[in-house]
Amino acid sequence: MTDGWGFRRPDDDDGTAAQHTPPAVAPPASFWWSDALNDPWRDPHSPVALVPPAERAHAPEPEPLAEPDHTRRRTLWTVAGAAVLAGVLAGVLGGAMGVRFSDDRLAARSILGSTAAPPHRAPESLAAVASLLLPSVVTVRVPVDGSVSLGSGFVASADGHIITNDHVVSGSSGVVSVIFDDGTSSPAKVIGSDPESDVAVLQVKRAELHPAMLGDSDAVAVGDAVVAIGSPLALRGTVTAGIVSALDRPIATEADNGATRYYAAIQTDAAVNHGNSGGPLVDAAGQVVGINAVIKSMAGSEESAGNIGLAFAIPINHARRVAEEIISAGRAHRTVIGAEVEESFRGPAGGVRLGQVTATGPAAEAGMRTGDVVTSFAGRPLSEPTDLIALVRKAAPGAVVEVTYKRGSTSHDAAVTLVADAD
């Protein structure tokens, strides 16, 4: 049954089948109920009574409309409910498994964020260098006239030898003691000191010492990274960092006994203050290359002086030689060239003029005379008397040094073999 036109084949009188053409009229319009199941305004639960118009009574009746399948609707709702329930159960199960396998992670988290793994520090990092040296560094406590003076030092041998500055222990009026990085302390014996080089040696009786590694100060270059460790202003275990600013900086300071200290220092911009004296200056490999000794300041007095990035350390090669002589012989010998210098001389082209030249001394044996002007020592130009003295003190007795000097307008080169003083 369709909504279009139809045709039939009637029986003829003579029994011959004749084909009839459908009338050439337009097909009647479809009724609105012909697609009732897809009607969006239809209420499937309301009774339906369809009565064709009188003028279309002869039209074929439409196909009966089936009532909605209530069983199918209930099945769809059941499937949908089961799907929702399955989703809820899956979410609960997944959450439980997530909590189960992340217990350790949740335990490590804090309220304000997660806890990162400990950082891995390279052996040459500043933190690694500090960790290596801190057990070797000590605070030196020296009783002086009813009060206590503080300085720094470091363990240099398994026998308990500690190197510090002479000016740290000079003037002691009682028992010197040292405080280690772990806070424990031990009494220390002053083995000996050398005021002119500003080096002193102490010794403690203690198990499980951590001697520092001593480097080669002759291998230090300007720009090398360095670390200063000590007790500035009584702040034990302070670590500061900087670079080597200059080498062979001539230093001359007055000792308590009236002598003058001379050394060719390592200059650094690492922060050094009162109390750092005697502590180590360490390179990036964790090796001691110097002993912090002097600072320059714009302050009007030594007591109010503070760090301005100009600190000076005794090269460890110089300090080790002096310390070994103190340990083995009780005193150290100065290195000399066998001539005095004229403090007042200032030549237009620099240089240091020699005063009295010892007849059998190193300078005389190399052909030098009184009045000669030394312009360079070991390849380093000279401009002040302090320059020559500091460089001579730095060298070890027996060292052969190339010297350039002038006699009048003539320049000469000589190889001078330095010696220890006779005193």
Q: Would you name the residues annotated as active-site residues? A: 167, 198, 277
Alpha-carbon distance 220 to 242, whole Å? 14
Round to the nearest angstrom and report the end-to-end CA distance of the chain.
140
- The whole-angstrom separation of Cα 227 and Cα 287 is 10
Mapping DSSP onto H, E and C, the string for 235-283 reads: CCCEEEEEEEEEEEEEEEEECCCCCEEEEEEEEECCCCCCCCCCCEEEE
- DSSP for residue 77: H
Give the span between the Cα atoms of 247 and 218, in whole angstroms: 9
With 0-12 CB in 10 A as exposed, 13-18 as middle and 19+ as buried, what is 230? buried
* Alpha carbons 351 and 375: distance in angstroms, whole number: 4
Residue partners of 339: CB distance under 8 A and separation at least 6: 354, 355, 356, 357, 358, 361, 363, 364, 368, 370
**288 three-class SS:** strand
Smallest Cα–Cα separation from 227: which of 270, 176, 291?
Answer: 270
